[in-house]
Chains A and B, each alone.
Chain A
């Protein structure tokens, strides 16, 4: 299924919900990716010849020790940071070759990101925050759709609250709603339950699995939680910059 990126904002080019999980298509492909940072004592290799594919509709976990390059991989897949070498293709687009404008559109229409520390826009209410990707797309019903999703994640009574008035669990649910509101093809979650207690973490994880399955989104879930990783369709492990299939 192709997503168009013309200049006219309409809901047509935003994914329509896909009820089933796997479609067999490769949604994202990471091939021979390396990432090094210069430092005073020489270059530090963060990712070392990393290759893997993400298929449409699957939920994949990425585990590994701290500093192993999990977040860097998320940043590269989301087009937030360029790799030092190798290629990253998302929806058949070479992320390293795309212009900034096209990467921006790709993120807006096809990629949702959830962080460990929620990262909500401080000035915005929960409703505005969730509606942001739709608002940027020029959707006329942005707030109605955001409100419906907030009610679905159990925050219908908190839509006018700013982040400072929300608990950690509530903020993360808002962040999850924002990531899913445009029904993206790819959701990148960087330890989304890392800052939450066990019960709240499980609630948020359940929510993400539910939304991902309902929308048919592919989700790459970075986590330290082995139990959570085992719930995913596939597990990847990263250690010292190298990714291996863990089941």
Chain B
């Protein structure tokens, strides 16, 4: 008679949260030194991709969200040379609030010193959108633009960029000559909201005065290189497309250039998009390489924990519990690395954005990064999941008998799990590609990056039959080792060999 055991319908029930938490706590308390390489690879992937992605997103959104302020209205009509005829101006005035400005290049004179300046004459409605920011005066009060430009004792005021003061050695209250008229410097410009709408190349600091004073200074004589801009702010509820069509029909014989908010800052936007895309491609390469490292590091870690895994199995742990436990450790450390990478990336990108935004006179706040930070987090989480699948599959397949053997355990992730891991990484890369401004260009580069290694492998394999003939084999023997065509061991172990020599890859 044999002692018996009833195994009908028996299933291990060891994956309860409490059991898992106890084991996880024990593992984490003893340290995660074996995961340093894994953490480093994930951190670097996040940092590089995050920096590029967040910076590009910051600049693009800053320009797009400042569209009306950059344009100075809902629609802008630009005319070179003489201003528009009065009937057209009267007609434009019917579409909403109309603001007129003129820009021209001139020379500011102070005593015997001269400096080229960009003169901007503005009317009383300027700016229709956005806010011109002036430096506080000595009392700490923010001056008002119209007050600063108004004539006091017959002397009109001017607000200027700080560069002009340093260039001519002037201060507030000093006077400069523009054409035939003198202006008292009343304030210093901090942010000019529509600066990016200037189509000309700015050679000097900005000097802003009242529109009528530009004419009085004799600067708008026939033949002068002046640009008039007529900006309209539609009232609420206006059908913008219809209004735009009606305005287009008013075009004078001399022609004009019409710009709407969607096109505002388009040159800068194009530059930002191109720069972001090219940097983004570098970020995607970093992501792919980083995740390859993460993949290898996770496999190395599981390989080095083979005996521990086998001990869990010997003690009665199910393969599912082993996967949950190791998955939880990888997720916790991986998320930690991603968060650390994101903090660094967001700090650097935020700092760079604030510099660029100040240079381009854009309003921008750190809160605007939230969306792009979340997207990078999701992308990296997908990549992390993909890079961990093979290692977890190997842990699942680890036989308990490994505890009785010496030497390195063979890792056997299933082909299906490898495919799932690669697919998740591909989705992460795709997400990164699609979020770049010029997705087509980025996709091409990403394809090259992702297809490169497999193509190299396929090429290497396909060259082997050619080398089967005697002549080729003799040549191969002369030039290299016999194993040149066939790498030793299964391909999945190749990353393990290089990963095992990297710092931080010690037995856990």
Contact = CB atoms under 8 A, between A and B. Distances in A.
B6 interface: yes
Contacts of A182: 316
B308 interface: yes
A56 B401 contact: no
B222 to A, nearest CB: 87
A242 interface: no
Contact of B13 (A9, A25, A100): A9
B198 interface: no
B245 interface: no
Given A75-B401, A119-B311, A119-B403, A104 B318 contact: yes
Interface stretch (B23-31, B112-120, B367-375): B23-31
B6 A5 contact: yes
Interface residues of A, number: 60
Contacts, number: 149
Contact of A5 (B7, B22, B318): B7
Nearest to B309: A121
B5 A91 contact: yes
Nearest to B8: A5
Given A75-B404, A123-B27, A6 B14 contact: no
Contact of B316 (A8, A105, A124): A105
B314 A105 contact: no
Given A6-B9, A74-B404, A107-B316, A185 B30 contact: no
Contacts of A56: 3
B404 A71 contact: yes
B13 A138 contact: yes
A122 B306 CA distance: 12
B179 interface: no
Contact of A178 (B7, B313, B315, B508): B315
Nearest to A106: B5
Nearest to A123: B30
Contacts of B19: 135-136, 138
B129 interface: no
Given A80-B404, A122-B508, A113 B314 contact: yes
A5 B4 CA distance: 11
Contact of A122 (B3, B308, B317): B308
A11 interface: no
Nearest to A182: B316
A80 B13 CA distance: 20
Contacts of A136: 12, 14, 19, 315-317, 321
A25 B3 contact: yes
Contacts of A105: 7, 10-12, 316
B7 A93 contact: yes
Nearest to A108: B316
B400 interface: yes
B404 A190 contact: yes
B314 to A, nearest CB: 6
Interface string A109-144: 110010100011111110010001101111000000
B10 A5 contact: yes
Interface in B76-100: none
B267 to A, nearest CB: 59
B143 interface: no
B502 interface: no
Contact of B3 (A1, A5, A80, A81): A1
A139 to B, nearest CB: 10
Interface string A1-45: 111111111000000000000011111010000000000000000
Highest count of chain B CB atoms <10 Å: which of A29, A120, A124: A124
Given A101-B10, A123-B308, A137-B316, A128 B26 contact: yes
Interface in B394-423: 399-401, 403-404
B1 interface: yes
Of A92, A100, A132, the most chain B CB neighbours within 10 A belong to A132
A92 B16 contact: no
A119 B308 CA distance: 8
A111 B305 CA distance: 23
A230 interface: no
A246 interface: no
A156 B11 CA distance: 34
Contact of B11 (A7, A26, A91): A7
A104 B403 CA distance: 15
A138 B22 CA distance: 11
Nearest to A8: B13
B12 A108 contact: yes
B312 interface: yes
A145 interface: no
B317 A101 contact: no
Interface in B8-56: 8-14, 16, 19, 22-23, 26-27, 29-30
B350 interface: no
**Of A23, A26, A128, which is in contact with the most chain B CB atoms at under 10 Å from its CB?**
A128
A91 B308 contact: no
Residue among B6, B10, B14, B399 with the most chain A CB within 10 A? B10
A128 B25 CA distance: 11
A174 B9 CA distance: 33
B406 to A, nearest CB: 9
A106 B182 CA distance: 100
Interface in B94-149: none
Nearest to A24: B1
Contacts of B317: 104, 108, 136
Given A9-B13, A101-B12, A128-B26, A110 B5 contact: yes
B5 A6 contact: no
B10 A102 contact: yes
Which 5 pairs of residues, A with B, have the shortest CB-CB distance? Answer: A108-B316, A5-B10, A91-B5, A80-B401, A123-B30
10 contacts: A9-B13, A25-B1, A27-B2, A29-B2, A78-B400, A91-B2, A102-B10, A104-B318, A106-B5, A138-B13
Given A81-B401, A122-B508, A138-B19, 5 more contacts: A7-B9, A91-B3, A132-B315, A136-B321, A185-B3
